[in-house]
Structure 1
Amino acid sequence: MRDLLLLVIISGLVPVILLHPWTGILTWFWIGLMNPHRLTWGFMFSAPVAQVVALVALAGLLLAKDRRPFPVTRETIMLIVFAMYVTMTTSVAWVPDLAWMQWQDFMKILLMTAVTPLLIYGERRIVLLILVMAFSIGFYGLKGGLFAIATGGNYMVWGPPRSFIRGNTNLGMAMIMVLPLLLISARMMTRKWVDFGWGIVNRWHKWIGLAMYGVFWTTAIAILATHSRGALLGLLAVAPFIFLKMKRKLTLVVLALAAVTVVGLTVPDRLMSRWQTIETYQEDRSAMQRIQAWGVNWNIAVENPATGAGFVMAAMPDEVWISYANWVEPWANTARAAHSIYFQLLGHHGFGGLAVYLLLVGFTFLTLNRIRRRARKETGQIWLAEYAWALQVGLIGYLAAGAFLDVAYFNLLYAFVALAVIMRRELEEAPRASEQAAGISAGDAVRATAPGGPRFPDFVPRPASVESRRGEA
């Protein structure tokens, strides 16, 4: 039944995507992040669902009249540079066949990242994309959190099989990235910062917001229930920012103390013993194997600073991989993944590839910071400022948890990059609060944002009505 239901849903979405290609972007991220086909047991499990949706969306893009020009920003420039760089390193990869296969998969992600700003713009589309991203992962937060509560947290929470988030640490990191988005989405809905124009949402927005708060809290529980040490460190990195953002802090502290002292709530023994291995990592084979892998990737980058060894370097012969190791033990004598985005990039693409990647992430963070500081004050767009904050905190969680996980090519990160570009455009093209106070019509204020308007990020000229009024004055 699941297979048939998913087939009906995808089939029904195809004509919608052709008529409204921007819905194809939402569908692609839903499939790429939630992996609904991996929750089936029949013919849809291995179906190329994401590729079909992407092709339909690209076909619709060619016919679309409401697409925007490609935004030339420092983020998009770095995306292009990164694509060119990894193509160069793949051409000299040590495991060429597998490297080109991963290169193809990564190029698909970068292509859809580049297409997203062409079709996603305006308050409604941007917020819907964020909601799709947040709750595609939040689905597993709700499911995993309820499972952890029912079982006392004694069992690991895993993602769907044969997906990017199948591992407990991978899923934990993904949930950390969307946790701030879930919080802001719940607050947005309860306070009605955005009007979707849907009657049922307007009538039930507070109840929907409360349900979103429930997903936020169960996701926080599910992160802990992954039993992942990397996810724990990532959660600790974002928790202070989330706590400072939350309302009724004193109430939360009192409830937490009551849960521990009155109810007697404690961390499950199995979970605590897992976390305690952080202190005794020298005695933990898994931790020591990671440290060995970090050394291998570092040594390869030192020897090949511009190219590294290319994608999927862990598939090289064991004896070659071990030759770059700083030490070898009987239980650590085979090739393995880097288990760190930083060492992964060093091993795959050398110091040059890591530098380009960090510039991309750094520019994205700075752009989000600019939006967060300016949106509320200059344009009155509370939702824009709040979501920029959420994306920033999500990036912090990614960078922290990613230090222990090789997820440099996770599509959610590149969705964050696309959103930073889109949201900056939204900020630059929105009418200023001072202009709104002066009585400028909404039509005049947004005229420059029409599909045939100026190319972002070039300056947006003032509407003619503004200039004429100043002339009359």
Structure 2
Amino acid sequence: MRDIILTLIVFASLPFIFKRPFYGAVLWIWISVMNPHTQSWGFAQNMPFAAIIAGTTILAMMAKPKEVYFPKTGLTWMLLAFTAWIGVTCVFAIGPQDPWPLMNKIVKIMGMTLVVSMLVRTRKEIEMLVWIVVISLGYYGVKGGIFTIRSGGAYRVWGPSGTFIEGNNEVALALIMVVPLMLFLIPLIANRWGKRAMWLSAGLCALASLGSYSRGAALALAAMLAFLWLKSHEKVKLGALLVLLAPLALVFMPDQWHNRIDTINNYEQDGSAMGRINAWRMAINLAADHPFTGGGLQIYNAEIFSMYAPIPDDIHAAHSIYFQVLGEHGYVGLLLYLGMYLVVWRNGSWVINNAGKLPDMEWATRLVRMLQVSLIGFMVGGAFLSLAYFDVPYYIMVIMVATRLLVERTLKEQTVQKMQEQEKEAHSVA
């Protein structure tokens, strides 16, 4: 039944994409982030929904070019440059495995990220993107939070199989990222029970991240909450709420959870932690030998580790977005990758400094603050996970830049309007 419902939803939505290409961007994010086909049990699991939606969206963009706007922003050029550089490093890849299948997947992610940026322009569209990300990840957060409560935290929360967030660490970080977006949406919900449901969902997402038993996610959650408090206009209320709820959540978790988290303090005795450090050192040594292009994609194997890892037999994935990019694409790739976050952060700071000049742009300031909180969570948690190509952070970047472009346009329109009013007044006086 789930397969039929999902298939009907996708195919029934295709005509609306031709009517308005932006709906294709929304549907794409839903399919790529939530991966609803993984929740089915039949033919829908193997249906190429993503390809169908992407193809339909591109055709709709070609049919309605007036609804397409290429954003000439720093993020756009950095995103294109980073993707192109990944292609260059694939040409010079040193590993025994073929890097091009993974490169093909990355190009699809980056390409559709660019497509989304070309279709979002208005406040309503920006808020729709936030909603679809919240719905897509919030489903697993609510589900995982309830599971954690029912099990008393005795079992780990896992993500949907066959996706970026399949692992317990990965889904935990994704849920941490979505909490600030939920908090942004709460004032936009008119219904009192709707607001309460969103508050409850945010709490369940946070609890589910704890229920994942992820040490990196625990650090990311702490960083996210600390930055959330700094960005809040109601520091006393939020601080009191955190002081009240955080101990309750920690007390709720069983002893085995605390034993797991406590290994952060004596990581030298933990095989998993030392394996990550071994992978990080491998990336540093590889980048020292290939500083410009790195080793290319698919470097986490016995041959590469035998050449560059301090412990050749301890083969691990990068377990860090930073060392992942460094090892795969060298220092040039790392600078491009970090440059995207720097550009986006500066866009957010610009909005905070300028949106206050517009009385009806308070929502933009709130949104940008929550997007920054979300990115802080990802950048801290990402230090321990191989999620450099995870699509949600790129969608958050797009939303941030789209918000700046909207504020810029509004400021220019108001400036032009004031100039016209001044000219009219001058003519009337004359």
Q: Give TM-score scaled by structure 1 length.
A: 0.85
Match of 2:424 in 1: 469
Query: What is the rounded CA distance, in whole Å, between the counterparts of 2:387 and 2:279 in structure 1?
Result: 15
1:255: how far off?
4.2
1:252 aligns with 2:241: yes
Match of 1:45 in 2: 45
> Structure 1's 187 and 324: CA in aligned 2 closer, same or farther, altered over 3 A?
same
1:305 aligns with 2:260: no
Say if 1:35 and 1:163, in contact at 8 Å, map to a contact too. yes
Say if 2:142 and 2:205, in contact at 8 Å, map to a contact too. yes
- Equivalent positions of 1:23-172 (< 5 A) are 23-95=23-95, 98-172=98-172
Residues 272-313 of structure 1 deviation map (CA, whole Å, 9 limit, x = unaligned): 111011111111111111111111111000000000111121
Residues 182-238 of structure 1 deviation map (CA, whole Å, 9 limit, x = unaligned): 111113325xxxxxxxxxxxxxx3322221111111111111111100101100111
Say if 1:322 and 1:335, in contact at 8 Å, map to a contact too. no
Point out the more displaced range, 57-66 or 461-470: 461-470
Match of 2:319 in 1: 339
Match of 1:327 in 2: 311
- Equivalent positions of 1:38-437 (< 5 A) are 38-95=38-95, 98-190=98-190, 205-244=191-230, 245=232, 247=234, 248-249=237-238, 252=241, 255-256=244-245, 259=248, 265-314=251-300, 316=301, 318-328=302-312, 333-431=313-411
Give the residue type in structure 1 aligned to 2:335: A
1:387: how far off?
0.8
Give the residue type in structure 2 aligned to 1:401: G
Point out the more displaced range, 121-130 or 369-378: 369-378
1:96: how far off?
7.1
Say if 2:229 and 2:239, in contact at 8 Å, map to a contact too. no
SS in 2 for 1:162: coil
Say if 1:74 and 1:363, in contact at 8 Å, map to a contact too. yes
1:5: how far off?
1.1
Query: What is the rounded CA distance, in whole Å, between the counterparts of 1:365 and 1:257 in structure 2?
Result: 28
1:175: how far off?
1.1
Give the residue type in structure 1 aligned to 2:100: W
**Stretches of structure 1 lacking an aligned partner (at least 5 in a row):** 191-204, 433-444, 447-459
Say if 1:68 and 1:117, in contact at 8 Å, map to a contact too. no
1:5 aligns with 2:21: no
Say if 2:276 and 2:319, in contact at 8 Å, map to a contact too. yes
1:110: how far off?
1.3
Say if 1:391 and 1:416, in contact at 8 Å, map to a contact too. yes
> Structure 1's 258 and 127: CA in aligned 2 closer, same or farther, altered over 3 A?
closer
CA RMSD of aligned residues (A): 2.2
Give the residue type in structure 2 aligned to 1:3: D
1:320: how far off?
3.6
Query: What is the rounded CA distance, in whole Å, between the counterparts of 2:30 and 2:403 in structure 1?
Result: 20
**Stretches of structure 2 lacking an aligned partner (at least 5 in a row):** none
Query: What is the rounded CA distance, in whole Å, between the counterparts of 2:220 and 2:248 in structure 1?
Result: 24
Point out the more displaced range, 240-249 or 59-68: 240-249
Query: What is the rounded CA distance, in whole Å, between the counterparts of 2:137 and 2:179 in structure 1?
Result: 9
Give the residue type in structure 1 aligned to 2:69: P
Query: What is the rounded CA distance, in whole Å, between the counterparts of 2:422 and 2:53 in structure 1?
Result: 45
Query: What is the rounded CA distance, in whole Å, between the counterparts of 1:62 and 1:19 in structure 2?
Result: 12
SS in 2 for 1:14: helix
Query: What is the rounded CA distance, in whole Å, between the counterparts of 1:259 and 1:237 in structure 2?
Result: 18
Query: What is the rounded CA distance, in whole Å, between the counterparts of 2:240 and 2:336 in structure 1?
Result: 44
Say if 1:66 and 1:119, in contact at 8 Å, map to a contact too. no
1:463: how far off?
8.0
Give the residue type in structure 2 aligned to 1:427: V
Query: What is the rounded CA distance, in whole Å, between the counterparts of 2:239 and 2:341 in structure 1?
Result: 35
Residues 226-256 of structure 1 deviation map (CA, whole Å, 9 limit, x = unaligned): 1100101100111112245275336526744
Query: What is the rounded CA distance, in whole Å, between the counterparts of 1:99 and 1:58 in structure 2?
Result: 26
Query: What is the rounded CA distance, in whole Å, between the counterparts of 1:253 and 1:303 in structure 2?
Result: 47
SS in 1 for 2:189: helix
Give the residue type in structure 1 aligned to 2:73: T
Query: What is the rounded CA distance, in whole Å, between the counterparts of 1:217 and 1:234 in structure 2?
Result: 16
1:181: how far off?
0.6
Percent of pairs identical after alignment? 34
1:321: how far off?
1.6
Point out the more displaced range, 357-366 or 239-248: 239-248
1:379: how far off?
4.6
Give the residue type in structure 2 aligned to 1:411: D
1:369: how far off?
1.7
Query: What is the rounded CA distance, in whole Å, between the counterparts of 2:421 and 2:305 in structure 1?
Result: 66
Aligned length: 425
Residues 413-443 of structure 1 deviation map (CA, whole Å, 9 limit, x = unaligned): 11122112211110001157xxxxxxxxxxx
Say if 1:134 and 1:182, in contact at 8 Å, map to a contact too. yes
Q: Give TM-score scaled by structure 2 length.
A: 0.93
1:461: how far off?
5.7
Query: What is the rounded CA distance, in whole Å, between the counterparts of 1:320 and 1:75 in structure 2?
Result: 32
Give the residue type in structure 1 aligned to 2:310: N
1:101: how far off?
1.0
Say if 2:96 and 2:303, in contact at 8 Å, map to a contact too. no
